[in-house]
Amino acid sequence: MQNRPTHHPDLFAHLEKHIGTIETGWKMQTVTPPVMIAKIVDRPMESTVTFATLGLSSRRLHQHGGGNDLRQELLFASADLDDDESIVALLMSIVADVIERNHALHSGQVLGPAGPILDGVKAEALFATSPVYFPDELQSYRGFDTPLIFAWLMPIMRSEAAFIAEHGPEAFETLLDEQYPNLLDPNRDALRLPRT
């Protein structure tokens, strides 16, 4: 790939080793140090695509609830929607918010809902969680003086976001384990939620 990032080239290599070859990328012009959004095709499986931030981890971020600072990169993976620009714009907006607040996204955090996350999809929110579709070794990067956490932004439906708000992320993850939906499809049917 041309225009490889000059910041932390070993992180670039780590990403390619554990996810796949970066096909192309977009650079955020509004932040310093720069952040790039990288695109990796056919990962985590055929006919899907992964977008990953590179460079957000140049910053130390505060943790939700206190504790030591950490570093973070974000992942978005889905069926290939053929809408790269919209996905990149979505991620850039999230990155800008993380930098402005100086707080990492925490596991179980819901972003939204605020209408469809992308034109033409059912998903209306994003759920920050561990990148379970990717090798465990992805979380093993040791190139910084503070831990680096990769957060996967999973598309979820409005009803699921409301369920998480009421019952918590652990209850939602239990439903995921029971119903095993295709989490890479932002047009999937919503989970069957228990009646309250």
Distance CA 192, CA 163 (A): 11
**Alpha-carbon separation of residue 172 from 80, 115, 126 (angstroms):** 25, 20, 13
Q: What would the DSSP string read from start to end of 41-78?
A: ET-SSTTEEEEEEESGGGS-BBPTTS-S-BEEEEEEEE
pLDDT at residue 90 in the model: 97
pTM: 0.94
pLDDT at 49 over 90: yes
Q: Are 7 and 55 in contact (CB under 8 A)?
A: yes
* Average pLDDT of the residues in 1-29: 82
Residue 150 has pLDDT above 90, yes or no: yes
Give me 170's structure tokens.
Answer: 């652990």
**pLDDT tens digit sequence for 64-84:** 888 899 999 999 999 999 999
Residue 29 — very low, low, confident or very high, per pLDDT cuts 50/70/90?
confident
